[in-house]
Each structure stands twice: as C-alpha cells, then as structure tokens.
Amino acid sequence: MNKRFQLALIDLDGTLWRGGTVIPGAPEFVLRLRDSGIRPVFFTNNSTRTPEEVVYALENCKIRAEAEEVCTSAQAAAHVLHSKIKAGSIVTYVGGSGLQTALEAERFDARRAKESELHSTWLGDAQGAVVGMDVTVSYMDLAVVCRVAHRLGWFVLTNPDVRLPVEDGFLPGNGSLGALVATASGTKPIVTGKPDATFVDFALERYGVAREDAVIIGDNLYTDILAGNHADVYSILVKTGVTLPGDDDHIHPNEIVESVDNIFRQESR
C-alpha cells in the first residue's frame, strides 16, 4: 500500500470474524491500523446490536474497540429520519435493541410495531416507519409498519440484504422483510445500509474525513465493495467471507487480498 489513509471502514462478519470466531490475524490488523494512525471504524449493516454490544463482541474476539468507533445502519437510519421529521415524533419500527437505541438517541418516540398496536390511535400520529432485521417479527407486526408506510408514502429500510448466509445455506434477510412492506404498502423504501452510498457519506461526515482519505474493507462485493464504488471510496476485498469465484465482474475493488492479515503490513514496519 502506497496510499495513506485516515479512516478505515471495516465490515465485521466475514471480515473480522466468521460465525462468531475471529479470523486469524484480525486483532493484529486492527492494532496495525492504530499504530499507523488510521482510525478503525466498525462499519456494519447489522442494525440489531447497539454499539456497546458490538464492542463486547469485538472484545470477545480480542479486538479492542470503543462504542464511538462503531457505525451501524441503525444509526444511519435514525440520521435520515432526523433530516425528514422533527425530534419527538412518533416512529414505529421492527428491529432489535440497536435500532431502538439509535432512534432514541435522535430523540424520537420509538414504538415497536406489534400486533396489539394494530388499531392504536397513535398510529395515525406516527411520522416515521423503519424496518430493521428482527428474527422474532410476525406478520401482524409488519402489518402495523405497512399501515404507517402506506399513509406516509415511504419508510426507511436499515439495509437491503435479502439473504443472510449460514453454514448450510441462507436465512431471509432484512431486505426480504422490506420487500414485503414495500409491496403491501405500495411504497419505496429509503435504504440506509451498504451498498447505498449515503451510509458511507454518513460515516465520513460523522468522523470528519474526506472520501479520498478513507478506505472500505469487506468480504462482500455486493455490499462492501459496491458501497465503495458508489461512494468513490478506495476499497479492499478480502476472501474470508461470502464472495465466491464467478461473482459479478462489474463490481471492482481497488485491491483483493486473502484476509485482513495481509493488509497494511508495510506501514507498520
């Protein structure tokens, strides 16, 4: 690497860990970044965890991190809402504690969509609707979000991943939940996660770094690398995750390496 960076936007699953198991060399890689004066930012489409929960997971993998270094699609979703509606507005959502915390941090009245609220009067006052990943979500929970999204003409989707890879195949992802809401409500979501460039822009603004001084590192061509392409940010693809030979040859990382263990070694000498 001949280029110097100030900020590294680092994907988590498939890049630093895989199935909860740390990828060899990942803790040392993050240390090399810090030693080189490059700020690591743990840049994730996962909207279910709070920053503190992400830090806990990283530390279990022997990777030192601070909550301020975590940037999630839930935070980006709350930021988008902040630009559209007033603080204090009622926002209904499906998702985990990470999304709830992000919405409350922007001072929204965050209310989990659930069947018992389907006929509540406050639904007519809701000014926002958000779909985040939630493995406990029910048909009637989504019906609540659909009702608000249809009235508003829009909703926010924390990330568009239609599948979550697992050892023996895949599980439906957040994009699949969003597709149901979009179809039923007749609306188009505002997407905030990778590969949308606005997620990268949110991170660059938050940390005060120009795009030419940032690098995005990840294992997925269709999320991490495409986000870098869309945002015109230097990108490095690692081969430790979901990208397979024969994947889309129209998405071009600036570099391809075996793993994060191969990155930024020269600068640390």
CA angle 82, 66, 96 (to 5 degrees): 50
Which of 3.40.50.11290, 3.40.50.970, 3.40.50.300, 3.40.50.1000 would CATH assign to domain 7-45+195-262? 3.40.50.1000
**Distance of alpha carbon 172 from alpha carbon 60, whole angstroms:** 27
Give the three-class secondary structure for 93: strand
**Is 261 an active-site residue?**
no
Q: Is the pLDDT of residue 171 over 60?
A: yes
Joined tokens for residue 172: 């439906």
Give the number of other Cβ atoms within 10 Å of residue 88's Cβ.
9
**Distance of alpha carbon 265 from alpha carbon 168, whole angstroms:** 34
**Distance of alpha carbon 174 from alpha carbon 94, whole angstroms:** 10
Task: Give the pLDDT band (50/70/90) at residue 245.
Answer: low
Mean predicted confidence (pLDDT) in 142-150? 97
Total count of residues recorded for the chain: 269
Cα(first)–Cα(last) distance of the chain, in Å?
12
**Distance of alpha carbon 205 from alpha carbon 134, whole angstroms:** 28
Q: Per the residue annotation, which of 11, 134, 161, 219 is the catalytic one? A: 11
**Distance of alpha carbon 258 from alpha carbon 241, whole angstroms:** 10
The two domains 7-45+195-262 and 74-191 share their CATH topology (first three levels equal):
yes
**Is 11 an active-site residue?**
yes
User: What's the pLDDT score for residue 249?
Assistant: 66
Q: CA separation (Å) from 190 to 99, 172, 183, 214?
A: 15, 20, 14, 25
Mean pLDDT of the chain: 92
User: What's the pLDDT score for residue 154?
Assistant: 98
User: What's the pLDDT score for residue 269?
Assistant: 38
159 versus 268: the higher-pLDDT residue is 159
CATH architecture for the domain at 74-191: 3-Layer(aba) Sandwich (3.40)
Dump pLDDT digits (tens) for 33-78. 999 999 999 999 999 999 999 999 999 999 999 999 999 999 999 9
- Where do the structural domains in the chain lie, given as residue ranges? 7-45+195-262, 74-191
Q: Is the pLDDT of residue 228 over 80?
A: yes
- CB–CB of 173/59 below 8 Å? no
